[in-house]
A and B are shown apart, each in its own frame.
Chain A
């Protein structure tokens, strides 16, 4: 039997770039096929060829053995190929059924009227057949992201798609929604549909796909059955060299207290308390990881520390200096760097080029600001150095931030913030949406910062990341630390319990991690602490108390 999809020797050249080089890909009917690769490996280009957006320079697309020539996505849709984009192509204020039938509306009254009943009927019938739980009359803007994705799938099915291409389908989903999506995959393939999804996540490819094809630099590195391959082998295929899956955190002595947070409470935008009476401290040369389910106050904590959000009570001290009333700019000048979680909203100005973006936050300071004007030559040099050191692609300081892929945007932001030479880095989800090669690189950089004696507050929802990098790991639940644990000895089950808001038995929690305010009250305990050389978190409470005494004496 012919494969449902056969890409035969596809080469796609753009001026100056070969995006796909003689790629062969065969996908069996009724299977789930993962197209795995790093950012810029040519996955999306290849799929754009399959659904007719691009015409291949060489090679041919076959469906069920029949050669096809697509001049536009319309042709591909007619031939039964549907594309589900990473950013959904939905009209938010319209209803689910209106979106599903958009462009192919059933009509009555000689075309003068959209046949609402027939359209709804078709949508209901499709969602029942594939077991989707979708309300046809709901407004798209009101339904969850997972549901919106199902609307996109329904759109493709409504147009008669047999082959569904999905671009990074899990990027915007919660873990529960990801599980639901895998269920949808099963329903679809049972009924003879073929699914190809683009991904750069190993785990996702391994758990959801039957077969995995790895692309690297536009070349097909190989196709393997998901059952016969390990994470390490896949990672090596993707990156082209052996990848250290778990970063090693060498032991290190910590230095002065860089950040002290005492009784901090912060409200979110709705005025609900998001951070409740939180106290901790962070020392030079230390990475404090903050784990937790998204939305438990991590964002508000990071914003309160960096000066982007006012705290309702409590105290943040940075290198012994109270930060109350200090603006974001004051804090940047004092060496506080911030990697925001929403890179497009807060990390970059999307319509600025990289030169302009490179000096955001430093625009008041030399060498970029001189005598009331900006020195664009210095800015450009700086942008180029960030681009080079952090391997941002394309390496063009004149490119608009908007034109970069998410992973490259992230690398650029991280580069800009690290190059400020900060004493404290507050990093929220620094590797979200970044491919594994770059993730490994960013992890190395974080560890280098630590070795240089910087303090890092690392907020991430990737458990292996916070666990692998941190010296101490705080688990956050509903605005409080349910525990600060030693990442080397804690188990995933224990972290899971803490994330759910339960506490652990005393012996498994690093009892010392939550600091007693008593010793910090004077805020001048640094001298006493610094020479303590207490690299084990377990000793810190004594060190801190000792510091207090030292001042008193």
Chain B
């Protein structure tokens, strides 16, 4: 808990300093910045961006705690982002009241797609003992190619048309909070949480007391699929469109999610704090671009990543599960 706490204190400190400077010198750059940081639009887009980052981060915690490092979170976000939009468009937003049933279908389809892809990853890693890093990269690359391709097939372009209705930021925020509390409970209060931890720390200890290590690891990886699915769907449906050009609309959020949970030291609350911080930085960067500061946009876009490096340098090493990344084979 020490790391997330110092993180929160530091963030609050910087924000307070900025606020004071902004109030004292409203005409200066600090005043401008303070205006941007404390604007409603920055807050709402933070909530919207935090959903995929925090949810994928929570998913990553479950996978890695069980001993499977899932660096394919990015791929899970991409696939669920596209499938959710596609499913919602099939139901046709316009024909339903406020688009609610269509959005619900979109969510379910997005979660299903991400879970399915994570199941492929789980089988390859647990059953066939493939290298987890390579398999994770493959999951990302598959989704990165597949989602824009399907978009082209179904919609005639890598970007889907806009659905014309979207999920409000309040729902995104609620989903994030719910998932964080739920994950914390699952990890710290249930027998499953204990088994998960044992599977990642000393799988043999779990095996000898008669709990199947593979089952626990499958559960961990599938949960990472479910949570990433919620995150990816929330990202796409909050805008009502899937953008498939370049790195797609996910834009590395799945990779930031890995940093987020490492940073939060495998604690869901910590991941929530770190995820919100990075989402805030991304929102800020977007706002700065919109306001047309004389800074090149490509430089501004690096802010979250530079922040990752800086923050990691200060936070240092986290408690990686002892057996993470190692295959486990039960005797006989």
Contacts and interface: CB of A to CB of B under 8 A. Distances in A.
A105 B209 CA distance: 11
Q: How large is the interface on A (under 10, 10 to 19, 20 to 34, 35 or more residues)?
A: 20 to 34
B285 to A, nearest CB: 37
Interface stretch (A96-104, A263-271, A375-383, A503-511): A96-104
Interface stretch (A82-90, A172-180, A477-485): A82-90
Contacts of A118: none
A298 B211 CA distance: 43
Interface in A76-133: 77, 83, 85, 89-94, 98-99, 102-105, 107, 111-114
Contacts of B204: 89
B316 interface: no
Contact of A114 (B194, B206, B210): B194
Interface stretch (B128-136, B195-203, B291-299): B195-203
A72 B205 CA distance: 15
Contacts of A89: 202, 204-205, 208-209
A102 B205 contact: yes
A105 B194 contact: yes
A385 B332 CA distance: 32
Contacts of B202: 89-92
A73 interface: yes
Nearest to A103: B209
Contact of B210 (A54, A74, A92): A74
A102 B209 contact: yes
A94 B197 contact: yes
B211 A91 contact: no
Given A105-B191, A112-B190, A113-B190, A94 B201 contact: yes
Contacts of B322: 92
B95 interface: no
Interface string B43-71: 00000000000000000000000000000
A53 interface: yes
A91 B210 contact: no
A114 B192 CA distance: 9
Interface residues of B, number: 21
Given A77-B210, A89-B202, A102 B332 contact: no
Interface string B253-279: 000000000000000000000000000
B194 A94 contact: yes
Contact of B319 (A54, A73, A93): A93
A73 B205 CA distance: 13
A83 B197 contact: no
Interface in B145-203: 185, 189-191, 194-195, 197-198, 201-202
A98 B189 CA distance: 11
B205 A113 contact: no
Contacts of B197: 91, 93-94
B204 to A, nearest CB: 6
B27 interface: no
A325 B49 CA distance: 58
Given A53-B331, A94-B197, A94-B198, A103 B190 contact: no
A412 B205 CA distance: 30
A73 B210 contact: yes
A94 B210 CA distance: 18
Nearest to B200: A91
Contact of B209 (A53, A107, A113, A155): A155
A206 B172 CA distance: 69
Contacts of A73: 208, 210
A85 B202 CA distance: 14
Interface of A: 53-54, 72-74, 77, 83, 85, 89-94, 98-99, 102-105, 107, 111-114, 155, 159
* Closest A-B pairs by Cβ, 10 of them: A103-B209, A74-B210, A89-B205, A105-B191, A89-B208, A103-B211, A91-B198, A91-B201, A91-B202, A113-B189
Given A73-B210, A92-B322, 20 more contacts: A53-B331, A74-B210, A77-B209, A83-B208, A89-B209, A91-B201, A93-B319, A94-B201, A99-B205, A102-B195, A102-B198, A102-B206, A102-B209, A103-B211, A104-B209, A105-B191, A113-B190, A114-B189, A114-B194, A159-B209
